[in-house]
Amino acid sequence: MQALAADPTEARVEALLKRMTLDEKLGQMSQSTELRAPLSEKNKAEIRQGRWGSFLNAAGPAERVEAQRIALKESRLGIPLIFGRDVIHGYRTVFPIPLGQAASWDPELIRQAARVAGREAARSGVHWTFAPMLDITRDPRWGRVAETLGEDPYLTSILGAAMVRGFQGGSIGAADSIAACAKHYVGYGAAEGGRDYNTTWIPEIELRNVFLRPFDAARQAGVATFMSAFNSLNGVPTSGNEFTLRQVLRKEWKYDGMVVSDWESIREMIPHGYAADPADAAFKGLRGGVDMEMVSTTYFDHLKALIASGQVPMSWIDDGVRNILRLKLRMGLFDRQPAGLAIAADPEGAAIARRIAAQSAVLLKNDSNTLPLTTKTIAVIGPLADSPVDQMGAWVMDADPKEVRTPLAALRDRLGEGRVHWARGLKSSRDQSRDGFAEALGAARASDVVLLFLGEEQILSGEAHSRAFLNLPGAQEALVEEVAKAGKPIVAVIMAGRPLTFPSVAAKSSAVLYAWHPGTMGGPALADVLFGDAVPSGRLPITFPRTVGQVPIHYAHMSTGRPPSEKELGIPMGTPLDPRGFTSKYLDVDFTPEFPFGFGLSYTTFEYANLRLSSPSMSLAGSLTISADISNTGSRDAVETVQLYTRQLAASITRPVRELRAFRRVHLRAGEKQTVEFTLKASDLAFYNSKMQLAAEPGDFHVWVAPDSALGLQAAFKLTR
């Protein structure tokens, strides 16, 4: 405590703490949604009394200004409120959903998008966002896959840290910065059956090697807050989990920021079967290490009695309040009174939104160079071609659909209305009616090429929107069959919040462009890609299955004792007495994915050659340089995302068949060749062993420099002592 006392922030925290009543302390540990416009007399009285430390989704800018004025000027201790809001992938300007942004593999652009979102939110009086979401998931049935950055802990770590830096800016105390929140801590993305809020069972060794890594990266990037998750983890709800919150976060990582529960997740420990009643939930939430309770009120209602009975030590309360006060001081909230706030788009927002939407689009198929388009007339068909709300995707709170530029509007602007033949075909992505098919077929017959905008509407992805099937909903596949009768080239543009399965649509299409939910400027961005003003550079941040029966699926799986050979399919020829062909596969579908992690096509072609290593081995104290020549062998300038993977062939525990270690976006002019170089250290190869020790182990390794997780140039090296 002596070292901390020298810190002026800590000194102010301790001085305040000594003056606070127990009610004021419990108020700081409570977050409410009950702040509406206009402010009620009850709101004003509670703020004066210090009843709440934070408000979630609080009214509008004017009410936030007034509420903060009351807190600073009329409450006994002048402790400011902190206003939280879900600024997930934009505020006024909406960027692609996080899973879409991850497909850009561009940390700097993602940082810029988060910076815009932070500035826009801060200008309206929002202090705190509940992002980035750092859950690792390998199950696209889970609705919240839309909010994730994909399946890979390394990619998620890099991109999540970029989001933290964007939201928080150069200083968390700056007026145009907001506090970020690393969520959901931890394991939420491994929910059984892909059902939201469901149970997760994750061995500690996998928890440390996979699920905790992005959260540690966010901590190292300076994330201001953590959020405990809804799920139970290995039998203990994460909002009462001493192992993850106290052992790992506080003791091992030395984290001194604030932890908030998810919405009512303290109270929800009762239906989990972990807490007997609200008082028990309050006890176990605080014991677990949650500082602030979101929405439910078990802390305020029951901790006073638990302290009086001796069940809860005052030190638990004081530690939680310290973390909250420290955050507010670091943010400068004690020392500034906001004024003149408003919800408005950032001047840079539209340009960045357009760029990241274009970079997020992943070209999955392009037979006969159908794209980019050079045709005179186009048919624009499908329920998502002109649907602003659906284009924004899930978790959009403050945007105006009127500011969204749809693909139909952008294509009409580019070509003129006379060259664009528009037919909705279906009223929504879920529509089963075929009433619009005749009009759609007519538009296709009148055009040189058909652009079919398919996928999922907004309401089918996000929190509590899990799906048991991953096919295109409604009568979309039937619409494609009908339009195909025109005999014109079909370009399928799929806008969705998760990986979908669409083999029949892909078979009937000359080109497939996966656009996710691309946000405010998705229309112009997609027009840029379709007509070649932007060359596709998106790469998949998550594996696309052939069928939902393969789920969960991911590239960094372990091998088995009987791995299948490539394209192995069908009934084995052997028997249990003679097990020929008894391998780890399916009888009825190829075990490989439809599209692998890291995959994406371009309007040019790239050649990988001359893989070389600086040495055939490296020591635990050394490093290894891996390089390859990447050539643009086509006629267009483009970006190639060069990926580095490794595999340890034998270790004290089994290791994945490949692990992403690094990547680099390389811009190559037509005909240009560049040498791309990576430096690998032994620490990059470290993993948690069966004793939960983080260490690299000597042994034999394979290494790939590759365009995706299934291909690439391969070499070998040894890690030695």
Q: Cα(first)–Cα(last) distance of the chain, in Å?
A: 41
Q: Are residues 451 and 407 in the same domain?
A: yes
Residue 563: how many CA atoms within 13 Å on its side-chain side? 9
Q: Please state, in angstroms and rounded to a whole number, the distance separating the CA atoms of residues 188 and 147.
A: 12
Which of 262, 291, 390, 528 does the annotation list as catalytic? Answer: 262
- Token pair in block for residue 688: 């948690």
Q: Amino acid identity, residue 349?
A: G
Under the banding of pLDDT at 50, 70 and 90, the label for residue 401 is very high
Pair (526, 471) in one structural domain: yes
State the Cα–Cα distance between residues 511 and 371, nearest whole angstrom.
7
C-alpha 87 chain-centroid distance? 13
Q: What is the mean pLDDT of residues 205-223?
A: 98
pLDDT at 4 over 80: no
Amino acid (one-letter) located at 530: L
Task: Please report the pLDDT score of residue 2 as a whole number.
Answer: 43
Following CA atoms 7, 12, 16, 18 in sequence, which dihedral angle do they give, to the nearest 10 degrees?
A: 40
Convert the pLDDT of each residue in 588-632 to its tens digit: 999 999 999 999 999 999 999 999 999 999 999 999 999 999 999
363 and 494 inside one domain: yes
Q: Are 359 and 485 contained in the same domain?
A: yes
pLDDT value of position 144: 98
687 & 570 share domain: no
pLDDT in tens, 682-713: 999 999 999 999 999 999 999 999 999 999 99
Residue-level pLDDT at 393: 98
d(CA 366, CA 361): 13
- For all residues of the chain together, what is the average pLDDT? 97
Q: For the chain, what is the domain count?
A: 3
Name residue 702's beta-bridge partners: 647, 716
Please say whether the beta carbons of 148 and 98 come within 8 A.
Answer: yes
Q: Are the CB atoms for 157 and 541 separated by under 8 Å? A: no
Determine, yes or no, domain membership for 35. no
- What DSSP element (H or E) covers 390? helix 388-392
* 567: confidence class by pLDDT, cuts 50, 70, 90: confident
379 band by pLDDT with thresholds 50, 70 and 90: very high
Residue 435: CB atoms within 10 Å: 10
pTM: 0.97
pLDDT of residue 340: 82
Unique residue bearing structure tokens 């979102």: 117
Q: Residue 66 is which amino acid?
A: E
pLDDT tens profile 134-146:
999 999 999 999 9
386 and 480 co-located in one domain: yes
Range of the domain at 580: 561-592
User: Could you give the CA distance from residue 380 to residue 375 in angstroms, rounded to a whole number?
Assistant: 13
CATH code of the domain containing 357: 3.40.50.1700
- In a domain, residue 305? The reply is no
| Confidence label for 338 from pLDDT (cuts 50, 70 and 90) | confident
Tell me which residue has tokens 């998550």.
542
Closest CA to 151 of 114, 98, 95, 198: 98
3-state DSSP percent of the chain in helix, strand and coil, to 5: 35, 20, 45
Residue 339 confidence (pLDDT) = 82
Active site residue 262: yes
Q: Encode pLDDT of 419-470 as tens digits.
A: 999 999 999 999 999 999 999 999 999 999 999 999 999 999 999 999 999 9
Q: Are residues 431 and 566 in the same domain?
A: no
Domain of 619: which CATH number?
Answer: 2.60.40.10
Instruction: Note whether residue 639 is domain-resident.
Output: yes
Is there a single domain that holds both residue 586 and residue 475? Answer: no
Alpha carbon 673 to chain centroid, angstroms: 33
**Positive or negative: CA dihedral 505, 430, 541, 553:** negative
The answer to the question of residue 156 being in a domain is no
Residue 5 confidence (pLDDT) above 80:
no
For 324-340, what is the mean pLDDT?
93
Q: Which two tokens stand for residue 713?
A: 């140039």
pLDDT at 78 over 90: yes
Same domain, 581 and 610: no
What's the pLDDT score for residue 3? Answer: 46
Task: Give the separation between CA 249 and CA 232, rounded to whole angstroms.
Answer: 17
- Do 644 and 695 sit in the same domain of this protein? yes
CA distance 472 to 480: 11
3-class secondary structure, 638: strand
Q: What are phi and psi of 296, to 5 degrees?
A: -70, 165
